[in-house]
Structure 1
Amino acid sequence: MDTAPPPIAPHATLPRHYADDGERDRYVQALFDGGAASYDRINAIFSLGTGARYRRDALKRAGLAPGKRLLDVATGTGLVAREAVRILGRPEDVVGLDLSAGMLREARASLPNPLVQARAEALPLADASVDLVSMGYALRHVPDLVGTFREYHRVLRPGGRVLLLEIDQPASPVALAAVRFYLGRVVPGLSRIIGRGERDSRMMRYFWDTIDACVPPETITAALAEAGFADVGCDVQLGIFRAYGALRP
């Protein structure tokens, strides 16, 4: 009898944050629920250039245009969804989805589009119902890359695309040391001051630790291909900002 292959996690267990993979979902949900109120303020200061224009340009390069429908997975406070609404002109054509009730509460305060609380690997959408699936800087929080990508493939219409924005480690050892110091120490330290103390500092430490432990880009592109996507590619800017793209045949 054939057995299902083991899940491909985006990173190994992080004992600094949770004891085992069974605790990861609860930990991540509580972390982002608690940090939601400060997230936009922290992101605006420490985005390293990945602001509204970067997100908007990435969506346009992925083919988002008026008349299409977008699903923004792990929408958070709505940073990607907000740019999608500006492109499409119709809030009802942008569906934001997140596991964190706290993040969705913040998003609802400023966004008019539909928002849904659900998991990336269990999307409550019909087959072939959207033209683009986006995910901004949250790929490292899912339990299984291939399983998640298969859900994206299912809800996309033929010819639709997936866009995954991520931060990666730079190839240069010197650049890696600088980024590790900045994102791993400076950002968590300042987040404690400009945010809500240790809770927000811990959220940003987790943010970096997942980047530091993340599987290489080749594993992500291979998982997209295994899930049935074609034309898999990755655009890299400044050595650390990656925009993975793929086509649903």
Structure 2
Amino acid sequence: MTQPSSTSSTSSTGDVAARGESISRAYDQLRELIVWGRLAPGTRVVESEIAERLGVSRTPARSALHRLQQEGYVTGGDRRLVVAPLTQNDGRELFHIVGLLESMAAREAADRPPEERATLAARMRALNAALDAEARLPRPDPMRIFDLDTALHRAYVEAGAGPRLVGLHDAIKPQAERYIRLYISALVDEIATSVVEHEQIVRAIESGDGEGARAATDTNWRNAAARLSSVIGAHGERGSW
């Protein structure tokens, strides 16, 4: 019996790895286009056009679209896919889910040793102060506000969450970010309230109050969901026609 050559085996392995990298790259690029609103909610997504836009063949484009459909970024059937719309109900559900995940992380962060909690609290307070200062400027930068807020929440998630919780958080949080990015200019006026809510989370973590940290985080996200719902109500849902 003829044995396959090591060269052939190596080549096959390399081809598989290359295909995997191509799919992963297409997925990352396409998700970024959706999250940043460059593919607007309700926009029809055509496999051949996506492949051309990303500079890949149709196979990785198809795989990327399938994964994005599973994760809720794209909806519809095989013959007609569209970027998922942004609606009040969907936004509320996403914010509640993120709140539950981050509440678990905050509770665990409050169980860290005192020195770790003190370091974490100092970092969170610095980010919260920068967030407050930016929001008070005559012309605040919405994207800097977004980055500071994201960093603050990420700080206690990384401090408290295990790998499974981080994985769940990383899968769902970008879907919530679609809403924040699209409506962020209208949400800037609500930052002062968020700053106060953030401080409640910091105090609970700093003092080692796990239940307090969980409750404060959950409250922050539930209030954020209500604020977002009001903004969507005023400015309209996107892509739900």
Query: TM-score, normalising length from structure 1?
Result: 0.25
Query: TM-score, normalising length from structure 2?
Result: 0.25
More strand by share: 1
Larger radius of gyration: 2
